[in-house]
Amino acid sequence: MKVAIAHNNLPKTLTVVSRLRKLLHQYRLPIDQKYPDVVITVGGDGTFISAVHRYLDQIDSVRFIGVHTGHLGFYTDWRNFDIDKMVQVLAREQAETVDYPLLEVKFYQADGSIETRLAVNESTVKRMSQTLEADVFIERTLFENFRGDGLCIATPLGSTAYSKSLGGAVIQPDLRVLQMTEIASINNQVFRTLAAPMVIAPEEWITVKFKPAQDLVLTIDGKLVPAAGVNQISYRISTHRIQFDRFGHHHFWTRVQDSFIGMPHASI
């Protein structure tokens, strides 16, 4: 089993990484930053997302494990003080592997070219200085004429991120669905939108058509994407999925509770 380590450069993280390297050597788990079987991320959710994008060309064969060195994160099963146990489990036991859907995003340009990207959390389309005017299609059927600041299309994993702050639902991550959430839509006697989050089945897709604009802002997982000439975007569930090594102590709704409610755990 070959292991890669992705991390931020905070002092606390670097201390954990140093210990992690020694443990991997102790258990004879070779480090291979180029072609790993497992990627261990040390840091926060941002570190994790960056690591996934770094290994997107190997997404079907690589698995991810997250170690958090700050506050509780959604993509991190282990805390910094647990890494001895984590490496022991990794070396001696066959972890359960779970996989979750990614978002496929196709950017269509006026010259006919198409660029395809993958998102872990979400993709957004906005305009900086003016209202975004766009036609929204579900499959090939026109659903609404959108007017507002923009649109956010998220995966179930991304439902606890930007989408939630826009009023989107929190979705169990093993459901293969998309969620579209409007960003400050305009609703009056002239313009009407659904003005509610929409959850889309995996067999369907969302297409957003608009006129190219100089102030168009496109993002994938919070990172800017070149927007020049883009006049249409298509979103659907990807055939590629992100794989996690799960060790039996991860529970999605406990993580949601810890992050947003903070109540003590109890069982019935």
Active site residues: 45
Cα-only R_g, the chain: 20
Residue reference for tokens 């998220």? 154
Identify the CA nearest to 45 among candidates 24, 73, 67: 73
Contacts for 127 with CB less than 8 Å, ≥ 6 apart: 149, 150, 213, 215, 216, 217
Whole-number Å distance between alpha carbons of 152 and 168:
10
Whole-number Å distance between alpha carbons of 250 and 45:
16
Q: What are phi and psi of 252, to 5 degrees?
A: -60, -45
Q: How many residues does the chain have?
A: 268
Burial of 262 from C-beta contacts in 10 A (0-12 / 13-18 / 19+): exposed
Question: What b/e readout covers 62-71, taking b as 16+ CB neighbours within 10 angstroms?
Answer: bbbbbbbbbe
